[in-house]
Amino acid sequence: MVAPSANTSTVHSRVIVGIDSGEFDPNLDLEVAIDILYGPIYFRLLVGHLPLDPHFADQLPLWALKAIKLTDS
């Protein structure tokens, strides 16, 4: 595993807390989880197809958490 950068270390530690508390799947890939959160931001910045607006800022964390949250099976 690659050590988290200064830009992702806070998110990295928060995801670990989520895994340890049982909120996130214990088999969750940390790097993929971080990419799920950061990827859409950089995509909008690089491609420029849509703005980084308040609606996006509100919705992205909600959908990212749904993607990595432990579900009852």
pLDDT band at 9 (very low <50, low <70, confident <90, very high): confident
Predicted pLDDT at 3: 61
**Residue 54 pLDDT more than 90?**
yes
- Give residue 29's pLDDT: 92
Question: In the structure, what pLDDT confidence band is assigned to residue 2 with cuts at 50, 70 and 90?
Answer: low
The pLDDT, as a whole number, for residue 71 is 75
**What is the full DSSP assignment across 21-63?**
TTSB-TT--HHHHHHHHHHHHHHHHHH-SS---HHHHHHHHHH
Q: CB of 45 within 8 A of CB of 52?
A: yes
pTM > 0.85: yes or no = no
